[in-house]
Structures are given as C-alpha cells and as structure tokens.
C-alpha cells in the first residue's frame, strides 16, 4: 500500500530545527561534542545523570527556571524550579546516606506519577545507587518478583500501595529488602517502615555527589514483557550522554520548550525521556498524575502550552477513536512537535495527526535495552508514513541475516527484510540482563546487537518495521508481518485497533487471523466481518490478507500499551498464557492483585 510522503518546509517550522542536514550531521558526528555539551561532575569526578539533569542548572542561570510542573489528579498543581528540585533530591540522597544505603544498592520505586517519585529517582542517582522503577498498577506478584530478582534494598512507595499490595507480608520472603520508605505518613511505622517526610525534613539540603565513574550502574529497567518474561536491563551513568543527544536530535528540544512525555517512569521511556533527557536540556517538564483521558490531555496541551509532546501509538489510536476536532475545540497553537514510540505507528495515525492536529506524528524506534532512541523521524525531514525513520547520528543500524552457522550476514540490498541489528558502543546501551549473563551474551553475534525485531530499509535509508521476530507469520510460503496487516485494517472507518496472529494450518503453515476492536459508533456483525475480509484482500492481496476476523472489545495489552500478540495466540490455541505480570488490567483487578499473584511466573 502506498502512502504519500509528508514533506516539510523549513520556513513553516516554528523554531530552527536541531538537525537540518541529516547526512552531514551523521558524517561529522563526534561523541566528544556531546561530552562538551554536558558538564561532568566538578573537579573531573566523573559523570552523573542527576548532576547533568538538575545540579548544573541549579548552580547556573536556569536556577529559577521551572523544571517540573506536576498536575495532580484532582486539579492540584505543584511547581519545582531547578533549584528546588536540586534541594529536594539532595535531601533524598542524604536520607539514603543516613540509612547506610550505598553505591550500587538497588532502590525500587513503586508509586503513581507523584513528585516524590521524581525526587527519589534523582536522589537515588545522586547517591550512585541503582534505581529500579516499578509500575504503580502492578499487583503483589509482579512487585515481589522484581524486588526478589533485583535484590532490592529499599522500596519507596505510598501508604496505600504498601497496604493494598501487601508489602509487609512479602518482606519475609525478601531478605535483602531492609527499608520501606512511605511518602505520605507523618511518622515512622516501625524501625524499617519509615516516614519519608520525616526523614526528608531532618536531612540536609546540601549534598555532594560522590565520584561517579561513567560506567557506574545507574538504572535497572524491566522490559515490557510483550514477548515473554520481562528481563532486567542494566544501564550506566554515561547513558546521560545519549539521553541528551537523542532528545536534541529526535525530539528537537530547545531550551524554552515545555515538554510532555506521557509515559510512566515504570517504563524506560518514562525515565530516559520522562526525567533525564528533558531536565538535561533545562526545559520545563510536565508530569500528569492522571491516566489517559482525551479531553484532559487536550486541555493539558492547551493550558500548559506544551510545545513538544512525546506519546505512544496506543494513546494516539485512542484519541483517533474519540473523533474529536482538537484544533477547533482547543488552542494548540504552542504545540510544534509530536513524537511517538513503543509500537509501530500506523500510517493512518500519522495522517490523522496531519489532518486533525495539523502536525505530523514522528515515529521513533528503540527498546529498553538501547536506553534511548535509535531510529527516528526528524523535525526538518520528510516523513514516510509507516516508516520509523533513520538512525540517529552516531548510531549504526543495519539489516542482517542470521545464518545457520551462527554468524550474521549484513544485507546490502535495500527492501530485503531481515533482523534489525545495531553496532554496540553508544553510551545508553544496556550492560547486562540482571542475573542472566547467558541471555545477554546471546544478543550479540559477530559484533552486532540483534534487536529481536525484523525490518527492512529503503533506498534512502529509511527503516520500515516488519514485526517482532517471534510474531512473524509464515503463510503459504510468505512471511507476513502483523504490522502491515493491522495497518491495512486500520484504514477502515470502523476499526479502532487490530492485533494479527498466525493460526497453525496443516496446508498453508499458518492462517492470518485478525482480532479487531471497533470504534464506538460501530457494532460487530457478519456483514462487517465479510466487509473487513474484502477490505484486507483489496489492499494486501489474498496471500497476506487475514482470512479470519474476530471482533474483540479490548485487545490484551501490556501496561505500556503494546498489543500482546503472544497472548492472543496462546488464547486462540488454548496454550499456557505465560508471564502476565505486565498485562494491563482493570483498576479493580490491580487493586486486589489477586490475579497477578496467581498467574505470574516467579523466576
């Protein structure tokens, strides 16, 4: 299916873009330049994420610039300047010191997007402890699983989550967990369940970050669990170089920006780009505590005068489903750049952005393991709807073939599908899977990092996502990527979302089956089912088009919003559902946590 490229005119952009000449920027790229853009700890004591994000601004001209504006669920607003964020995170680092929590110890954070979470993250990094953020909707099972796997020493959480997630009960099974710090109790509950406000009030607002080697561990991030049991990817402090550089190029951040990243810090996007990168750039970061709500989101864009917005395909598809006219109903005149990550961004969604938001949506690709954006569409460059764009300067990405002899062959001709591979060496590359050296080693072949995704590259170097290697469907001699089929279905006016799998078939290998959820104005019917089959055939040809279509209201998704095709398939085939710790559930299910505990597979 052909989509019209979206051309850009430099004159029409509201600010001068950071990346104008792609080829030239790639050719002249030099990591030393990125080092120079950051400060480093005073007296050559190393490189620390929190110092670059906060302290260097707090001791410079941006001291009183608004660093973080927090929008509470009930309408409250809390503002933090760079100076106040520095002071608060200093206090938190001192709290850790007082408790004897040291370099390398794992600090877990389990909270919704509240200011204390952001302060704890920055304070943890200052004390050179390893931060492990958890998604607040996790039930007891996934929480315990991760605390055990990561040997957590401290857990920062709220009183409600402490009670509801039954943290006290699981502590008997977590011998390394020494302290639980509650963000919202006025006094210590006992000698190890402590009041964070009380500790913070007693702590000094001054703190000197200890020497931090660039290779010091900083972040432990669990993957989304889309393809199986989540893995703990470890990142180091010099990742900050990449956070900074990638936000400069791929998010086009400028000092006066008001930036909103909708991802939760429970996922890597919510820390790399929801905390580190924007603060490193000294911009104003918007944090919304509430969950998705179309009207609220448009209102935030309007009222906070957001200029750069980083979100995800799942959210964009939900906005599309609402059928609102955002440009007519809201003043979005400050918004100048939109980017998306997490799943393939269907061409339909890119075009919806152009038509309804009057801005294209810039897809970019990366993973928990890569720590930052690897392939992107840029502000000044043409967008080819459905393409993830081109590698960032400093990043070498190629399509490779995995050979039977255990080696790889780099594919030189364009349009050939293969494994998306990256040449290791960028600063935010993961340094290991926690307690799984063997799995880490398997990711590397002949000096390439094999991402696990399949893609192809066109003549101009744009990358096109085909699917996860695990999700590829083999039907009648064809290799079919679910993305292509889902994107075709999404062009039908009734379709809100689609998840495509292969169902084993004795004759043709696998039959393409689509699970489809409909927009509110449409009802499932046999007529519509047949119409969608015809729609697919007309656009994809009969070899690739889905032969089976099933209507399903809510497609199973991870909490980070990715369609779990492996679960659609397991359910279709009556196979074990595997690790469901990251499956998005209703609020009630998460509250009780019962299903999580019962279903999750402990390591």
For binding to ligand ATP (CB under 6 A), which residues are involved? 223-228, 230-231, 267, 341-345, 363-365, 367-368, 388, 451-453, 465, 468, 560, 562
Q: Which is nearer to ligand ATP, 349 or 388 (CB)?
A: 388
What backbone torsions phi and psi does residue 542 show, to the nearest 5 degrees? -75, -20
Smallest distance, Å, CB 253 to ligand ATP? 19
Smallest distance, Å, CB 196 to ligand ATP? 29
81 binds, among Mg ion, ligand ATP, none (CB under 5 to 8 A by kind): none
Do residues 124 and 92 touch, judged by C-beta distance below 8 A?
A: yes
Report d(CA 54, CA 125) in Å as an integer. 11
Q: Is 506 exposed, middle or buried (0-12, 13-18, 19+ CB in 10 A)?
A: exposed
Neighbour tally for 266: CB within 10 Å: 28
Q: Which residues contact 442 (CB under 8 A, 6 or more apart)?
A: none
Smallest distance, Å, CB 169 to Mg ion? 31
336 binds, among Mg ion, ligand ATP, none (CB under 5 to 8 A by kind): none
| Among 71, 67, 44, CA closest to 55 | 67
428 binds, among Mg ion, ligand ATP, none (CB under 5 to 8 A by kind): none
The encoded tokens of residue 445 equal 């072949």
State the sign of the Cα–Cα–Cα–Cα dihedral 16, 56, 370, 258: negative
Smallest distance, Å, CB 73 to Mg ion? 31
Which of the 8 DSSP states describes residue 534? H
Q: Which is nearer to ligand ATP, 225 or 326 (CB)?
A: 225
230 binds, among ligand ATP, Mg ion, none (CB under 5 to 8 A by kind): ligand ATP
Smallest distance, Å, CB 555 to Mg ion? 19
Q: Which is nearer to ligand ATP, 233 or 518 (CB)?
A: 233
Q: Which is nearer to ligand ATP, 78 or 442 (CB)?
A: 442
| Among 562, 422, 412, CA closest to 486 | 562
Apex CA 429: angle with CA 394 and CA 456, to 5°? 65
465 binds, among Mg ion, ligand ATP, none (CB under 5 to 8 A by kind): ligand ATP
Residue nearest to Mg ion (CB): 223
Q: Which is nearer to Mg ion, 263 or 285 (CB)?
A: 263
Smallest distance, Å, CB 145 to ligand ATP? 13
Report d(CA 73, CA 181) in Å as an integer. 23
**Binding mask of the shown chain, residues 221 to 250, with x at each position contacting Mg ion by CB under 5 A:** --x---------------------------
The 3-state DSSP class for residue 376 equals strand
Smallest distance, Å, CB 593 to Mg ion? 25
Smallest distance, Å, CB 557 to Mg ion? 15
377 binds, among Mg ion, ligand ATP, none (CB under 5 to 8 A by kind): none
Q: Which is nearer to ligand ATP, 216 or 343 (CB)?
A: 343
Do residues 483 and 344 touch, judged by C-beta distance below 8 A?
A: yes
The encoded tokens of residue 440 equal 């880490």
Report d(CA 46, CA 35) in Å as an integer. 11
Report d(CA 131, CA 101) in Å as an integer. 12
Q: Which is nearer to Mg ion, 509 or 578 (CB)?
A: 578
- Interface with Mg ion (CB under 5 A): 223
């Amino acid at each position: 299916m052909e989509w019209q490229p979206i051309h850009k005119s430099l004159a029409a952009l509201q600010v001068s873009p950071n990346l104008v000449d792609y080829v030239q920027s790639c050719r002249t790229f030099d990591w030393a330049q990125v080092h120079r853009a950051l400060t480093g700890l005073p007296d050559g004591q190393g490189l620390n994420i929190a110092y670059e994000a906060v302290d260097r601004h707090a001791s410079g001209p941006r001291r009183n610039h608004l660093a973080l504006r927090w929008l509470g669920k009930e309408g409250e607003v809390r503002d933090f300047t760079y100076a106040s964020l520095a002071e608060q995170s200093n206090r938190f680092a001192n709290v850790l010191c007082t408790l004897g929590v040291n370099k390398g110890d794992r600090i877990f954070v389990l909270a919704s997007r509240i200011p204390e979470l952001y302060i704890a993250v920055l304070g943890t990094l200052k004390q050179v402890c390893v931060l492990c953020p958890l998604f607040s909707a996790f039930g007891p099972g996934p929480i315990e699983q991760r605390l055990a796997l990561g040997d957590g020493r401290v857990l920062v959480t709220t009183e409600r989550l402490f009670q509801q997630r039954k943290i006290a009960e699981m502590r008997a099974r977590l011998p390394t967990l020494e302290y639980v710090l509650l963000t919202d109790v006025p006094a210590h509950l006992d000698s190890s369940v402590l009041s964070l406000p009380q500790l913070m009030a007693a702590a000094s607002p001054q703190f000197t970050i200890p020497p931090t080697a660039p290779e010091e561990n900083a972040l432990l991030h669990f993957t989304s669990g889309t393809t199986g049991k989540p893995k703990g990817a470890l990142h180091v402090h010099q990742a900050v170089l990449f956070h900074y550089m990638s936000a400069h190029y791929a998010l086009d951040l400028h000092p006066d920006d008001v930036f909103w990243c909708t991802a939760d810090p429970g996922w890597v996007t919510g820390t790399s780009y929801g905390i580190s990168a924007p603060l490193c750039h000294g911009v104003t970061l918007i944090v919304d505590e509430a969950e998705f709500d179309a009207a609220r989101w448009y209102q935030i864009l309007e009222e906070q005068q957001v200029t750069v917005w980083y979100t995800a395909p799942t959210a964009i598809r939900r906005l599309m489903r609402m059928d609102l006219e955002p440009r007519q109903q809201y003043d979005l005149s400050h918004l100048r750049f939109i980017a998306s990550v997490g799943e393939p961004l269907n061409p339909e969604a890119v075009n919806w952005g152009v038509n309804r938001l009057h801005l294209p949506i810039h897809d970019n690709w990366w993973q928990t393991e890569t720590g930052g954006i690897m392939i992107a569409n840029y502000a000044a460059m043409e967008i080819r709807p459905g393409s993830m764009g081109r590698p960032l300067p400093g990043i070498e990405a190629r399509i490779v073939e995995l050979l039977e002899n255990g080696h790889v062959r780099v594919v030189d001709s364009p349009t050939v599908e293969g494994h998306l591979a990256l040449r290791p060496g960028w600063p935010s590359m993961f340094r290991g899977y926690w307690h799984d050296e063997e799995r880490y080693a398997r990711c590397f072949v002949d000096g390439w990092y094999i991402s696990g995704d399949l893609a192809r590259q066109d003549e101009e170097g744009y990358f096109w996502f085909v699917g996860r290697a695990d999700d590829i469907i083999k039907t009648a001699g064809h290799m079919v990527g679910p993305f292509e089929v889902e994107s075709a279905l999404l062009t039908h006016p009734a379709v809100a979302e689609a998840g495509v799998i292969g169902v084993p078939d004795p004759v043709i290998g696998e039959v393409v089956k689509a699970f489809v959820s409909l927009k509110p104005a449409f009802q499932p019917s046999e007529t519509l089912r047949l119409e969608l089959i015809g729609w697919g055939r007309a656009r994809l040809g009969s070899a690739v088009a889905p032969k089976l279509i099933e209507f399903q209201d809510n497609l199973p998704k991870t909490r980070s919003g990715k369609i779990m095709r492996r679960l659609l398939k397991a359910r279709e085939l009556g196979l074990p559902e595997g690790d469901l710790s990251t499956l998005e559930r209703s609020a009630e299910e998460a509250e009780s946590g019962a299903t999580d505990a019962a279903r999750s597979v402990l390591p």
